[in-house]
């Protein structure tokens, strides 16, 4: 259910903003001096109004390190209303992190370890036997499970059948289509997928390459969006206007 920032049911549909800190960690990792600090960035974006923190610890620790996952978990204990979302392919290391920190949300992404960035959703039919017990274990730990999905209405019933509660729509194709003649056709695929997901009782997240420019039209077409996670463009904007204003820009783009 969509809630207002106070946690009260809201008649206005609200989409939560989760800030992905991968790229802050990427910059931090360039030297051994420890800054920019990932936990300080988390505190800053929370103070600016973000509703959640997302990390995607990749097996090579190219940006978020395992230690960041634990440090953020400790920090978020003093911010009880803030969602902790950990993304990744549920390899043994990922599952151990989830067992240790029990994030609010586990977003499962089918990325190969060496992929440059996420570029595809799950094939929930081919991967069903792998995913079903993993989803069950994560939910038994108290984590909401979200599956990273392409905008394919025909796959939504299978997501529900596997036991996941949410999808995260992979918005790379939307970002590519934005401002081109294909824009409306691509947006229709997303809104049809969202409608199919809602019909199956699923909640809806979205993420990848979302910007303050392409987000308003996306949100208008998918008013039932529960959450967006934004990292690359958040960090890029922050270089010009600072983290606080970058968060506010995305909240404004969501109509908050």
Ligand X SMILES: CC(=O)[C@@H](O)[C@H](O)COP(=O)(O)O
Ligand Y SMILES: NCC(=O)COP(=O)(O)O
- Is 79 among the catalytic positions? no
Q: Among 51, 168, 203, 208, which one carries the catalytic annotation?
A: 208
Residue 35 DSSP SS3: coil
User: Quick check: 20 binds ligand Y (CB under 6 A)?
Assistant: yes
Q: Which residue has the tokens 């799950």?
A: 122
Counting Cα atoms < 13 Å in the Cβ hemisphere of 39 gives 15
Q: Among 51, 83, 87, 203, which one carries the catalytic annotation?
A: 87
- Is 87 among the catalytic positions? yes
Residue 86 DSSP SS3: strand
Residue list 81-110, contact with ligand Y (CB under 6 A): 87
Interface with ligand Y: number of residues (CB under 6 A): 13
User: Quick check: 219 binds ligand X (CB under 6 A)?
Assistant: no
Torsion on CA atoms 236, 237, 243, 249, rounded to nearest 10? -140
Residue 205 labeled ligand binder: no
Neighbours of 112 (CB within 10 A): 9
Residue list 182-211, contact with ligand X (CB under 6 A): 207-208
Q: Which does 246 bind (CB under 5 to 8 A by kind): ligand Y, ligand X, none?
A: none
Pick one of 15, 16, 44, 54: the residue that binds ligand Y (CB under 6 A): 54
User: Quick check: 56 binds ligand X (CB under 6 A)?
Assistant: yes
Distance of closest approach, residue 164 Cβ to ligand X, in angstroms: 15
Distance of closest approach, residue 54 Cβ to ligand Y, in angstroms: 4
Distance of closest approach, residue 25 Cβ to ligand Y, in angstroms: 12
Pick one of 207, 222, 246, 253: the residue that binds ligand Y (CB under 6 A): 207
User: Quick check: 22 binds ligand X (CB under 6 A)?
Assistant: yes
Nearer to ligand X by Cβ, of 75 and 86: the residue is 86
Q: Among 51, 56, 168, 227, which one carries the catalytic annotation?
A: 56
User: Quick check: 109 binds ligand X (CB under 6 A)?
Assistant: yes
Q: Which residues contact 225 (CB under 8 A, 6 or more apart)?
A: 13, 15, 194, 204, 205, 206, 218, 219
Pick one of 83, 111, 203, 209: the residue that binds ligand Y (CB under 6 A): 209
Please tell me the distance from the alpha carbon of residue 184 to that of residue 68, in angstroms, as a whole number: 39
For the chain, the C-alpha Rg in angstroms (whole number) is 17
Distance of closest approach, residue 12 Cβ to ligand X, in angstroms: 26
- Is 208 among the catalytic positions? yes
User: Quick check: 15 binds ligand Y (CB under 6 A)?
Assistant: no
Residue 132 labeled ligand binder: no
Nearer to ligand X by Cβ, of 94 and 148: the residue is 148
Please tell me the distance from the alpha carbon of residue 189 to that of residue 177, in angstroms, as a whole number: 12
Burial zone of 20 (CB within 10 Å; 0-12 exposed, 13-18 middle, 19+ buried): buried
Residue stretches of the annotated binding site for 1-deoxy-D-xylulose 5-phosphate: 58, 63, 117
Q: Which positions are catalytic?
A: 56, 87, 208
């Amino acid at each position: 259910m969509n809630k207002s920032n106070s946690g009260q049911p809201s008649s206005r549909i609200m989409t939560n903003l989760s800030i992905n800190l991968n790229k802050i960690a990427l910059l931090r990792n360039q030297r051994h001096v420890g800054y920019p600090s990932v936990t300080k960035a988390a505190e800053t974006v929370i103070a600016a109004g973000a509703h959640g923190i997302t990390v995607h610890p990749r097996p090579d620790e190219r940006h978020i390190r395992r230690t960041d996952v634990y440090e953020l978990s400790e920090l978020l204990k003093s911010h009880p209303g803030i969602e902790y979302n950990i993304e990744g392919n549920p390899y043994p290391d990922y599952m151990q992190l989830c067992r240790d920190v029990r994030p609010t949300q586990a977003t499962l992404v089918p990325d190969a370890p060496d992929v440059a960035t996420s570029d595809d959703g799950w094939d929930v039919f081919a991967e069903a036997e792998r995913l079903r017990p993993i989803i069950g274990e994560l939910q038994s730990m108290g984590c909401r499970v979200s599956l990273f999905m392409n905008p394919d209405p025909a796959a939504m019933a299978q997501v529900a059948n596997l036991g996941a509660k949410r999808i995260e729509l992979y918005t790379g194709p939307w970002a590519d289509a934005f401002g081109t003649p294909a824009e409306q056709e691509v947006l229709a695929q997303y809104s049809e997928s969202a409608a199919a997901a809602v019909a199956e009782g699923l909640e809806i997240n979205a993420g990848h390459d979302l910007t303050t420019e392409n987000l308003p039209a996306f949100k208008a077409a998918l008013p039932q969006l529960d959450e967006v996670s934004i990292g690359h463009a958040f960090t890029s904007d922050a270089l010009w206007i600072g983290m606080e204003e970058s968060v506010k820009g995305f909240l404004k783009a969501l109509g908050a």
